[in-house]
Chains A and B, each alone.
Chain A
């Protein structure tokens, strides 16, 4: 079926099987490789994107539901050379190790900060449940707080 949506501000129309996971449309057809495949079961969060501003795991989201929606991926988080506060904070705290899960974490964090601009440690624990095998959680927590502060400063 044909599905149209806005992705990182660009309208796209794809013609694929209606149940194709949105993740593969994003990665294989639209060639945006920042959204990662980790498990395909909505368990690891490596494919977290925003759909109409909400954090969604793209591997468990059939493309047909994307009709008319506005999608943001890690490639759309920064604007030109200007990094999103979450990305800035991730740079400042030198969070990534292997880096594979990091786009998903940054997308989940960006969604969190839209809902809770100054999250507590408890908020972070409750909302950020992606999986990082390099276990960069210690720096991520610092970076999430830092991102909240950057967002506040630049407001």
Chain B
């Protein structure tokens, strides 16, 4: 319903109030995702087991599609190039008038089947994973020259807390309303595995 402007201060007040509420409350979600039942591991993972689990996620298309080797994002379960020739752009957020945010917002839009999360963007070129082996991806994320200058602790926090990373477990539905495939390891297990791997000194197998 249209409520015409009555006072100059009123909208500002509403804006502050609603903005505040939005900031405090968890984002609403229309996704049909079920609450996951996480099997509890009986024994703590050793470093190599943890590595395996972490890599099952990082090599999944949900991650690799936005860590492409070139300047074109990929999309979909078949990792095709992003439709309409979408490009990385200078700051990894798309080109001047066709940014990621032209279509992608801070959360999934399940009416449109357009995925979204805060800071929706491509991983920088230095963080390209497409075509890399598990070992190479691991080396890459531990290498401050390529991982955005992160320490191991910062990398752990990126992998376990960043909303864009965690979107992989809440990927919403596609344009046909079909739920997107999630990584083969649950979010909780992944977070545990990342921590266990780091705690074990982030070991990388020979191959």
Contact residues of A with B, CB < 8 Å? 1-4, 10-15, 18-19, 21, 29-30, 40-43, 48, 54-57, 59-62, 64-65, 67-68, 108, 111-112, 114-116, 123, 125-129
- Which of the residues B15, B86, B102 comes within 8 Å of A67, measured between beta carbons? B15
Least CB separation from B176: chain A residue: A41
What are some 23 contacts across the A-B interface (CB < 8 A)? A12-B2, A12-B4, A13-B5, A13-B11, A13-B14, A14-B1, A14-B2, A21-B111, A21-B112, A42-B102, A42-B112, A43-B84, A57-B102, A60-B112, A61-B105, A62-B107, A112-B96, A123-B95, A125-B85, A126-B87, A127-B95, A128-B98, A129-B98
Q: Which A residue's beta carbon lies closest to that of B89? A: A126
Asked if B87 contacts A41 (CB within 8 A), the reply is: no
Of A4, A15, A67, A115, which contacts B96 at CB under 8 A?
A115
- Cβ of B132 within 8 Å of any chain A Cβ, yes or no, is no
Rounded to whole angstroms, the CA-CA distance of A67 and B1 in the bound complex is 15
Chain A-chain B contacts (Cβ-Cβ < 8 Å), number: 114
B window 96-143: CB within 8 A of A: 96-99, 101-107, 109, 111-114
3 nearest A-B residue pairs (beta carbon) = A115-B96, A60-B112, A112-B97
Taking CB atoms, residues of chain A closer than 8 Å to B111 are: 19, 21, 40, 59-60
| Chain A residues within an 8 Å CB radius of B175 | 41, 43
With most chain A CB atoms within 10 A of its CB, the pick from B5, B103, B104 is B103
- A-contact bits for B183-194, CB 8 A (1 contact / 0 none): 000000000000
Q: Is the interface of A mostly helix, strand, loop or mixed?
A: mixed
- A65 to B19: give the CA distance in the assembly, Å: 10
Q: How far is the CA of A14 from the CA of B111 in the complex (A)?
A: 20
| B30 interface hit (Cβ, 8 Å) | yes
Closest to A110 in B: B97
* Residues of the B chain whose Cβ atoms lie less than 8 Å from the Cβ of A64: 22, 28
Instruction: Flag if B2 contacts A67 (CB, 8 Å).
Output: no
Q: Hey, which chain A residues are within 8 Å of B107, CB to CB?
A: 62
Task: Give Cα A121 to B19, complex, Å.
Answer: 41
Provide the residues of chain B in CB contact with A67, threshold 8 Å.
15, 18-19, 22
State whether A13 touches B114 (Cβ < 8 A).
Answer: no
Judging by beta carbons under 8 Å apart, are A54 and B101 in contact?
A: yes
A residues within 8 A CB of B98? Answer: 55, 108, 126-129
Q: Given A18-B28, A41-B113, A60-B109, 16 other A-B contacts at CB below 8 A?
A: A4-B18, A13-B2, A19-B111, A42-B112, A48-B102, A55-B97, A57-B102, A60-B105, A60-B111, A64-B28, A68-B18, A108-B98, A114-B97, A126-B87, A126-B95, A126-B98
A14 to B1, CA, bound (A): 5
Closest to A127 in B: B97
Q: Which residues of B lie under 8 Å from residue A4 when comparing CB positions? A: 11, 14-15, 18
Once bound together, how far apart are the Cα atoms of A127 and B95, in whole Å?
7
On whether the beta carbons of A19 and B97 are closer than 8 Å, the reply is no
> Cβ of B14: which chain A residues have Cβ within 8 Å of it?
2, 4, 13
